[in-house]
Amino acid sequence: MIGPGVAVDPPPPPPGVGVGVAAECGVGDGEAVGVPELEPPHALSIAAHETAMNTTILCGTSFLPRRLTTAGAGLWSPPVRPITSVILARSVEIILTAPRSEPALAMSRSIARTRSSNDPARVLVNLVLQSPNTLLHDGHAWKRYRPARLLSDTRAALRDARGADFIVHASYLFLGTASVEQGLAPPLGDIAAAALEAEDLVLSGSIPSCVVRLGYRYGPESRDLRSYQLAFRIGRPYWAGSRGVKQRHLHSDDAASALLAAARQRPVGKTLYAADDTPASFATFMDCFARRVGNRVPLHIPGLMRPLTRVLIAEEHVQQVDLASADAPDRPRPRGFTPLHADYRSGLGQVVDAWKGG
């Protein structure tokens, strides 16, 4: 996209939380904003118990939705070592990595809606690789998530998972395409190879685990989608790719539901998939969004201009919109998972409605 970004300041830490713990993760894509990032990118414990009507947060990260944090005011208790955990008493204990990232915001919404059970298992949901799993950042997030980081963050998450009973590793659905299996050209080929190695690290580890490969995420918490909204409103063009190359997308709420379903199922050694039921090219997806926000004739950057757009449009993005992730498997799904937004049009409608509702 050729358009301005939207700056979002990180929220202030809640009373009683030290600066080192509150600042170690950034907002949005997990990058630090105005503060140094610590490795591994984890944060403090989040403990919750579910009453008959709602979920009460006892300790948590300051970037959870307001409805989750208000009940826990004054009860913050950062641990000695930065880790992250969400506990539903009498239910599955969910441990989140990268808790202040956009994927974790969707997870927190789903956790708030989760009904408890009698299952006491401690499940780590590894989100550290999910920030770049979207087509909305024009490839630039991959500059921060180089192949070496994908592996180092995965190893860090595995070290912090000691004591967990199970790991759900969130990965990328596009890894299942024949193009990836045959070998993609760099730089996306190097990213895919590292992501596959990260899956192997998790599945071959000492803790029982599974992998859930997610379609390209989008949702109301996406700062990149907000940037597109602004760019469309002022009529700026974007790199759309071919309409004939279809992608598999996934609303962030459905991504969270799929991961929680896998946490309840705990299928040892399995690779599962989660995407909506309506593959669409990036051009079709974004044109639909443009019309939703008032731009009836969204402009595309002509392919002939590619040499002039290399600073604005990363090569990874060009490769991804030309990679038909719709050719990747989308089954088996986590048991009990069905996307609420089975069509991207429904999902984008929810995004715009959520923004209108504040």
DSSP string for 270-304: -EEEE--S--B-HHHHHHHHHHHTT-SS--B--GG
Q: Do the domain assignments include residue 345?
A: yes
Q: Report yes or no: 327 and 177 within 8 Å, Cβ to Cβ.
A: yes
Region 327-340: mean pLDDT is: 96
Region 279-288: mean pLDDT is: 97
**Helix then strand then coil, % of the chain, to nearest 5:** 35, 15, 50
Q: Do the domain assignments include residue 304?
A: yes
Distance of CA 313 to the CA centre of its chain: 21
Q: Do the domain assignments include residue 2?
A: no
Q: Do the domain assignments include residue 50?
A: yes
Residue 31: give the domain boundaries: 19-356
Q: Do the domain assignments include residue 302?
A: yes
The residue among 46 and 140 whose pLDDT is bigger is 140
Q: What confidence score (pLDDT) does residue 162 get?
A: 84
User: CA 173 to CA 133: how far, in whole Å?
Assistant: 9
Where do the H-state alpha helices sit in the chain?
Answer: 19-23, 66-69, 102-113, 141-144, 147-160, 178-182, 188-203, 223-233, 252-265, 282-292, 315-321, 344-356
Q: How confident is the model at residue 114 (pLDDT cuts 50, 70, 90)?
A: low
Q: Do the domain assignments include residue 11?
A: no
243 pLDDT higher than 50: yes
Q: Report yes or no: 38 and 160 within 8 Å, Cβ to Cβ.
A: no
Q: Do the domain assignments include residue 275?
A: yes
22 pLDDT higher than 50: no
Q: In this predicted model, what pLDDT tens digit does every residue of 293-306 receive, in sequence order?
A: 999 889 999 987 87
Q: In this predicted model, what pLDDT tens digit does every residue of 181-205 receive, in sequence order?
A: 999 999 999 999 999 999 999 999 9
Q: What confidence score (pLDDT) does residue 59 get?
A: 23
CATH of the domain at 138: 3.40.50.720
Q: Do the domain assignments include residue 5?
A: no
Count the domains in the chain.
1
